[in-house]
Amino acid sequence: MQTRLRELTDTARQIRRDIVTMLGESGSGHPGTSLSTVEIVTALYFDVLHHRPKDPAWAQRDRFIMSKGHGVPAQYAAMARAGYFSTDLLKTLRKLGSPLQGHPVYGATPGIEASTGSLGQGLSIGIGIALAGRLDKAAYRTYVLLGDGECNEGQVWEAAAFAAHHKLDTLTAIVDANGFQLDGRISDILELEPLGGKWTSFGWEVREIDGHDLGAVLDAFTWARGTRGKPSLIVARTVKGKGVSFMENNNQFHGVAPTREEVAKALAELA
């Protein structure tokens, strides 16, 4: 297990380097929210998901939806490292004609399950996919990654109630709880705490973890797979901009790409 954790830690560090590099190359994007999700997407793509990168349309694959679509650089980096496409493609992020747009686009990139970016919609899409799996008697699971700021959207809570009512136990949602949204701290804009308690009251099984502790992340996904009769929710407490000292908890990097000098400084920290 320790060897596996070391491997995943190394992969997470590389994904952080990819995020910084690709956003610096594009000159635009969202570094803070991408960096906060790295351990989550690393665990998913390199341990949790049943998937075939060379056969992204495999019918029995688990489905993953990046509902907080502006965090997709983390997903692109993980997908490239997992073998969905060449890592050389990462440098084309947000460029005209590239399949790697600034938010996920279904049909443009192999392995992207839904177009997202209009916040609040990903969980509803995930519910539809999970219900389709139930109708088809398929064994796949559906995972949806939300932001905590995204949980200010009313549609999230309508979807939460619906999923619990229909006992969608093949559905797992993860909230990347980094404490910030575009305009500032969530606690200043619209307090969500107790976040886990709210989801519990909606009928979900809930576990709260340190979202940067890969062991805890893997344990939480194992727990989620064992949940029966209810959807499962992982509240992952994270740090916005994690891994780059001058980006951590610095909301100026919510939607501003690093300069060439900042890229060099960040990569030196992530060496």
- What does the block give as tokens for 92? 């084309």
Say whether pLDDT at 130 is over 90.
yes
Say whether pLDDT at 74 is over 90.
yes
Say what the pTM is: 0.98
Q: What's the confidence (pLDDT) of residue 233?
A: 98
The two beta strands, 142-147 and 180-181, are unpaired
Question: In the chain, what are the domains?
Answer: 2-269 (3.40.50.970)
Residue 89 contacts residue 99 (beta carbons within 8 Å): yes
Query: How far does Cα 257 stand from its chain's mean position?
Result: 19
DSSP state of 83: T
- What does the block give as tokens for 10? 């190394």
Residue 38 contacts residue 19 (beta carbons within 8 Å): yes
pLDDT over 70, % of the chain: 100
Residue 119 contacts residue 156 (beta carbons within 8 Å): no
pLDDT band per the 50, 70, 90 thresholds, residue 39? very high
Q: What's the confidence (pLDDT) of residue 1?
A: 81
Q: Is 258 strand, coil or helix?
A: coil
